[in-house]
Amino acid sequence: MKPELRVLVVEDEASTRQEMASLLGDMPEVAEVLVASNGASAVRLLGTTSIDAAFLDILMPGLDGMDVARVLSVMSEPPSIVFVTASEAHAVEAFGIGAVDYLLKPIRPERLAEAVGRIAQLRDAGGGSSPAEDLHVVQIDTGRRTVFVKRDEVQFVEAQGDYVRLHTADGTHLIRLSLSYLEEVWASAGFVRVHRGFLIAIPWVRDLRVTSSSGLVAGTPAGDVPVSRRHGRHLRAQLLEAAKRDQLGRSATGRAPGSAKEQP
């Protein structure tokens, strides 16, 4: 693979900055790595050179990573943005800005490589940095084989530590993504949060019912999903709107006739 990407690392901790620059420099997709120790230096650098991707620490003195990302977002040809931080607290805001990925410290080389691969794919496809367009199909590498899962086949998503489990009619698939990330990028496809650890695809919901063991649950062909009291009212409203548009009860063929039923 011919190295093509010119990337910028913005990180105030010298050891982390050097580690990321070294890891990125060894990747076959990367042609050049630039570094900046703070947000102000990054903005000055961006005034004199162009980059394909920026790896931004969020918590920095002065201009933080979010500030730098906002500057990047108004450029005529904005680079892909990857946030690098020690907390998941900013994930929703990060993907709202248009981040391609969100990496947690300490940096794992395989996750950094995954982010670079995603940037390269977007560049080859001629797309922008929007993660939503990149996840109509999820690629899952298991080591021995690669599985491609269409977003529309996913009935619900379950958080499992640093991973999420995608539940489909054919089984489940584990992938290293955050639930907050998928909540953001799949919202337009009808995925809503129904519990601290679950998202559900509205078109796949068959009914709502109360059980003695789990309380309120939403039924899908792939299984029941717990619904918290906090999210119950919003889910009912979403189901009602979907029923009015005849978009409930999606079948294996992708059609969504019918309506949802709620049982006492």
Q: How far apart are CA 228 and CA 198, in angstroms?
A: 10
Q: Average the pLDDT over 113-131 and give the result.
A: 71
Residue 153 has pLDDT above 50, yes or no: yes
Q: What is the crossing angle of helices 109-125 and 14-25, to 10°?
A: 60
The SS3 of residue 134 is: helix
The confidence band for 9, taking pLDDT boundaries of 50, 70 and 90, is very high
Judge if 129 and 151 occupy the same domain.
no
Q: What is the CATH number of the domain that holds 112?
A: 3.40.50.2300
Judge if 130 and 151 occupy the same domain.
no
* pLDDT for residue 251: 53
For 165-184, b/e burial (b = at least 16 CB within 10 A) is ebbbeeeebebebbbbbbbb
The confidence band for 256, taking pLDDT boundaries of 50, 70 and 90, is very low
Residue 142 has pLDDT above 90, yes or no: no
Q: What is the CATH number of the domain that holds 175?
A: 2.40.50.1020
Judge if 75 and 53 occupy the same domain.
yes
Residue 118: which domain range?
A: 5-134
Judge if 93 and 157 occupy the same domain.
no
Judge if 42 and 92 occupy the same domain.
yes
Judge if 22 and 126 occupy the same domain.
yes
Judge if 150 and 96 occupy the same domain.
no
Judge if 164 and 129 occupy the same domain.
no
Residue 17 has pLDDT above 80, yes or no: yes
Residue 88 has pLDDT above 90, yes or no: no
Judge if 127 and 148 occupy the same domain.
no
Q: What is the mean pLDDT of the chain?
A: 84
The number of domains in the chain is 2
The SS3 of residue 105 is: coil
The confidence band for 138, taking pLDDT boundaries of 50, 70 and 90, is confident
The confidence band for 190, taking pLDDT boundaries of 50, 70 and 90, is very high
Last residue of a domain, one of 134, 152, 186: 134
* pLDDT for residue 56: 96
For 87-120, b/e burial (b = at least 16 CB within 10 A) is eeebbeebbebbbbbbbbeebeeebbbbbbebbb
* pLDDT for residue 94: 75
Last residue of a domain, one of 134, 167, 189: 134
For 208-243, b/e burial (b = at least 16 CB within 10 A) is bbeeeeeebbbbbebeebbbeeebbeebbebbeebb
Judge if 141 and 252 occupy the same domain.
yes
Judge if 86 and 155 occupy the same domain.
no
Judge if 199 and 234 occupy the same domain.
yes
Give, in order, the Cα–Cα distances in Å from 57 to each of 120, 130, 194: 21, 19, 31
